[in-house]
Amino acid sequence: MALLRLAPAAAYVGVHPVTLRRWADDGRVDVVWVGRERRFDTKALDAFLGVRPGSGPRREALYVRVSGSTGQESSLTAQETELRATASGEVVAVFKDKASGLRENRPGLTRLLAAAAAGEVTVVRVTHEDRLARFGVVWLTALLARSGVTVEVLHPKGSAGGMDELLADFTSLVSTFAGRIYGIRSREARRRLLTAADPPS
């Protein structure tokens, strides 16, 4: 079972989010409220779509991530151990990354998306949502749903990263934007120098 937000749930069903919201308001689709936000149980969505429970094998992919490139192997191991201990299907693959959750070009995540697109897995499991990404989890979930893959978060509330890792990600984000700003300024400065050295005749 997984609880999906509106956008990934709509992608799971194959309709526009507005349509799914209207169906929920009309009582055609069951909704689970988490605070003031509606969530959709994948089992209820399967029932709505006419998919029989247990109609196919459950093939789990585990995704574990830490921000640092060294010194955090124990955290990767702990995440994998916890996910394996709570698995309810066959664990067919474990994908690992040592990279910031802000990075989009993570090798492990890339392999995970390829495996999902190839139909090798039916469920992606993480300990915490921010293991998958710091931002854009909704869109990753929707993308996986298009391949018939659901995302399950073992601990839906809270964060495994802690303040230190969040600060590291924030620093990485600031550094990225600062680098882009300096790059733009450098190009402008070079252009001004070239223009000054070769004035138009």
Measured between alpha carbons, how far is 97 from 118 in angstroms, rounded to an integer?
Answer: 20
pLDDT score of 189: 75
> In which residue ranges of the chain is CATH 1.10.1660.10 found?
1-55
Residue 48: its pLDDT value, please? 79
Q: Walk across the sheet containing 32-34 and list its strands.
A: 3-4, 37-41, 32-34
State the sign of the Cα–Cα–Cα–Cα dihedral 46, 47, 50, 53: positive
| Architecture of the domain whose range is 1-55 | Orthogonal Bundle (1.10)
| Type of residue at 1 | M
The CA R_g of the chain, rounded to the nearest whole Å, is 21
* Torsion angle defined by CA atoms of residues 20, 101, 119 and 38, in that order, rounded to the nearest 10 degrees: -20
Q: Give ranges for CATH 3.40.50.1390 in the chain.
A: 57-201
pLDDT of residue 177: 67
| Residue-level pLDDT at 159 | 44
Positions in the chain whose pLDDT score sits under 70: 1, 50-56, 69-71, 157-173, 175-179, 182-183, 198-201
Backbone angles phi, psi at 43, to 5 degrees: -65, -40
Assign domain 57-201 to a CATH class.
Answer: alpha beta
Predicted TM-score (pTM) of this structure = 0.57
- Report which of 77, 149, 65 is spatially closest to residue 104, judged by C-alpha positions: 65
